[in-house]
Chain A
Amino acid sequence: MKKLLFILMFALLPLAMVAQSALAAGDGPSKDMLKGIITEVNAAERTLVFQKDDTKEFMTLTLGEKMQPEDMKMNQKVLINLDKHAAADKVMKDVSIMFIDMSVSKLLALLVIGAVGGLLSGFIGSGGAFVMTPAMMSLGVPGAVAVASNMCHKFPKAMVGAYKRWKYGQADIKLGLVMASTAVIGVQIGIKIQKHILNQFGGAGSNLYISAVFMVVLVFVGGYVFYDAWKLAKGGGKETVSKLAIAMQKINLPPMMHFKTAKVTISAWITIPVGLLTGMLAATIAVGGFVGVPGMIYVIGASAMVASATELIIAFVMGAWGSVQWGLSGLIDIRLALLLLATSLIGVQLGALGTTYVKDYIIKVVMATTMLIVAVSRGVKIPGYLIDLDLMSPIDAGTLALLEGISFWSLVTALGSAALIIIVAMVKGMTADRHSKRALAGVNHG
């Protein structure tokens, strides 16, 4: 029975992928987005001729009200969003150049974000995505391309990180695959909810929903992880299995599954909701790990070390699957993905080996710190969305700009402080290790 379920879960994974490819839906771009080249602009009529990239068919589009004919860039791949609410058909809402010109400062920015994101990923199992996509967008990359390129850099990074941590005996492959197979389904549910909200309440409603989920999850889960880490730090760092996990492990509902590395025997039915929620969160806020890792620690009963390592396996499976989706729509800017990889592959391995020098609770400290600071960054955005939805009276532009600034800088602070904690803990651990080795050598000599 156990084996049967395991096989079933494995079978589900490729099946979901195949179904996804066949339907070509999923977390790909919306249908109102066109990819191709502008071949002709008619300024007098405010129209342009556009050649679609995939079918090579020509179509005539009308410029939106605020668009200027001289701003239309010809013979360059562009992404065009159509205005769904316009009275006429095929009216453009906006146009963006698909591939940004790579300047030295943009290149350096990508390398720095890659390194820090990689370090965080290797250490706590996830991280970086919440800052990489907005950072790329602020460099001028269209949103869909930023999401796609981030996805394409995430899975090789997670693969290398997972391999390293598996070699250190920390990653539970079976738990990772079981979680990933349910997370893939969770992503589908998450997307369905997202689409429903977008249709019902529009862009601002969707943003409000995302920010609200971000806030609730990050404040509650992050707060709890922080409280737990603080307790552990006071008590000398000896980690114990949570009461909830012990209760869950006692539920004898077949099929029971044994996870060797995590040292846990638990009913498969308990892992399913954790996986589903991880996927749903990944589809909503792009960081499933913020639920996946605490879920594996407090509900399933794995140690922080094993949970953060196992999360990398989940990230790999989900990232690879997502990359195929975005690749099918042809939206991955491989230059961005590979520049992020250039430093994140170093960062992720450094983060992974760093975990071998620190106590288990340091992982919780880093995770909680990141989550709580990111919560601030999303929280300050909520007033703006509430105003858009007419749920709050408008505030002056200066205050809104200040809130935007706080939002951006808190993300930078989140990454910076997490990197700092990791590096300090790692250097301390390495120095202590060297001292104890030297002392041992001294005893042998004497």
Chain B
Amino acid sequence: MNLTTFDKNMSAIAFAEAGEGDTARQILSESAKKQAGKSPVPAGRPKPYSKTIIFGMLSISAYVLLFTNEKLVTEIFTMGGWRWVYPVGAAFFFSFIHGAFASNLLSTLGLEAKK
């Protein structure tokens, strides 16, 4: 037998009046849960605030670290030969952490691709 919301509410009232407050609350919470699941407006994905902050901090520290040591970095990175690994590696590294930050930042700002 399918119980309508009205039936449920009525039985919850009946239990409550009979002094069975806990049972009444249980019945009501069940119907509330079902209601939430049925919601026609899909709840938006939670915004990745913490990820944005973590990757943002990582990225900023990497930039600060690089620019406070710019003389040393530019010197080593431009020695040529196998040291091509440094600039290319650094570009990869920054693209991962800063790219992740940028991606999360756009999501946080509500800019997502059309589904």
Interface residues of chain A, those whose CB is within 8 Å of chain B, are 35, 53-54, 77, 98-99, 102, 152-153, 155-157, 159-160, 164, 168, 320, 323-324, 326-335, 337-338, 341-342, 345-346, 349-350, 352-353, 356-357, 429-430, 433, 441, 444-445
Would you call A337 and B87 a contact (CB within 8 A)? yes
How far apart sit A267 and B86, CA to CA, in the bound complex (Å)?
Answer: 40
Quote the shortest CB–CB distance from B68 to chain A (angstroms).
12
- From B80, B86, B98, contact of A342 by CB (8 A): B98
Would you call A335 and B66 a contact (CB within 8 A)? yes
A-B CB contact pairs (8 Å), 13 listed? A160-B95, A160-B99, A324-B88, A327-B85, A327-B86, A329-B80, A335-B73, A338-B63, A342-B63, A345-B99, A349-B103, A349-B106, A356-B113
Would you call A331 and B78 a contact (CB within 8 A)? yes
How far apart sit A98 and B73, CA to CA, in the bound complex (Å)?
Answer: 13
Kindly name the residue among B84, B111, B112 whose own CB sees the greatest number of chain A CB atoms within 10 A: B84
Q: Dominant SS at the B interface?
A: helix
Would you call B95 and A159 a contact (CB within 8 A)? yes
- From A35, A77, A324, A345, contact of B98 by CB (8 A): A345
Besides A338-B66, A346-B106, 10 new A-B residue pairs in contact (Cβ under 8 A), listed by A number: A77-B78, A152-B88, A323-B91, A329-B80, A330-B78, A331-B80, A334-B86, A338-B90, A349-B103, A353-B113
Would you call B114 and A335 a contact (CB within 8 A)? no
Known: A335-B66, A346-B106, A357-B114. A341 touches B81 (CB 8 A): no
How far apart sit A171 and B69, CA to CA, in the bound complex (Å)?
Answer: 38
Would you call A53 and B79 a contact (CB within 8 A)? yes
What 3 A-B pairs are tightest by C-beta distance, nearest first?
A: A327-B84, A330-B80, A156-B95
Quote the shortest CB–CB distance from A12 to chain B (angstroms).
21
Determine if B77 is an interface residue (Cβ-Cβ < 8 Å): yes
Which B residues touch A346, using CB under 8 A? Answer: 102, 105-106
Which B residues touch A433, using CB under 8 A? Answer: 114
Would you call B87 and A323 a contact (CB within 8 A)? yes
Which B residues touch A156, using CB under 8 A? Answer: 91-92, 94-95, 99
Quote the shortest CB–CB distance from A407 to chain B (angstroms).
30
Would you call A334 and B73 a contact (CB within 8 A)? yes
Interface residues of chain B, those whose CB is within 8 Å of chain A, are 40-41, 63, 66-67, 70, 73-75, 77-81, 83-88, 90-92, 94-95, 98-99, 102-103, 105-106, 111-114
Quote the shortest CB–CB distance from A328 to chain B (angstroms).
5
How far apart sit A292 and B69, CA to CA, in the bound complex (Å)?
Answer: 40
Which A residues touch B111, using CB under 8 A? Answer: 350, 353
How far apart sit A342 and B66, CA to CA, in the bound complex (Å)?
Answer: 13
Which B residues touch A54, using CB under 8 A? Answer: 79-81
Would you call B91 and A155 a contact (CB within 8 A)? yes
Quote the shortest CB–CB distance from B76 to chain A (angstroms).
10
Which A residues touch B73, using CB under 8 A? Answer: 334-335
Total contacts A-B at CB 8 Å: 122
Would you call B87 and A332 a contact (CB within 8 A)? yes
- From A334, A335, A345, contact of B102 by CB (8 A): A345
How far apart sit A331 and B78, CA to CA, in the bound complex (Å)?
Answer: 6
Known: A156-B99, A433-B114. A338 touches B81 (CB 8 A): no
Quote the shortest CB–CB distance from A59 to chain B (angstroms).
17
Which A residues touch B114, using CB under 8 A? Answer: 356-357, 429-430, 433
How far apart sit A330 and B70, CA to CA, in the bound complex (Å)?
Answer: 15
Known: A333-B78, A433-B114. A345 touches B95 (CB 8 A): yes
Would you call A320 and B81 a contact (CB within 8 A)? no
- From A328, A329, A335, A444, contact of B74 by CB (8 A): A335
Which A residues touch B77, using CB under 8 A? Answer: 330, 332, 334
How far apart sit A430 and B111, CA to CA, in the bound complex (Å)?
Answer: 9
Would you call B102 and A337 a contact (CB within 8 A)? no
How far apart sit A65 and B98, CA to CA, in the bound complex (Å)?
Answer: 47
- From A153, A324, A333, contact of B84 by CB (8 A): A324
Known: A333-B78, A338-B63. A327 touches B88 (CB 8 A): yes
Would you call A341 and B94 a contact (CB within 8 A)? yes
Which B residues touch A98, using CB under 8 A? Answer: 74, 78
Would you call B84 and A328 a contact (CB within 8 A)? yes
B77 — nearest CB in chain A belongs to which residue?
Answer: A334
- From B41, B87, B112, B113, contact of A334 by CB (8 A): B87
How far apart sit A73 and B113, CA to CA, in the bound complex (Å)?
Answer: 51
Kindly name the residue among A153, A159, A320, A341 whose own CB sees the greatest number of chain B CB atoms within 10 A: A341
How far apart sit A324 and B80, CA to CA, in the bound complex (Å)?
Answer: 10
How far apart sit A99 and B67, CA to CA, in the bound complex (Å)?
Answer: 13
- From A152, A328, A333, A349, contact of B81 by CB (8 A): A328
Quote the shortest CB–CB distance from A323 to chain B (angstroms).
5
How far apart sit A215 and B88, CA to CA, in the bound complex (Å)?
Answer: 33
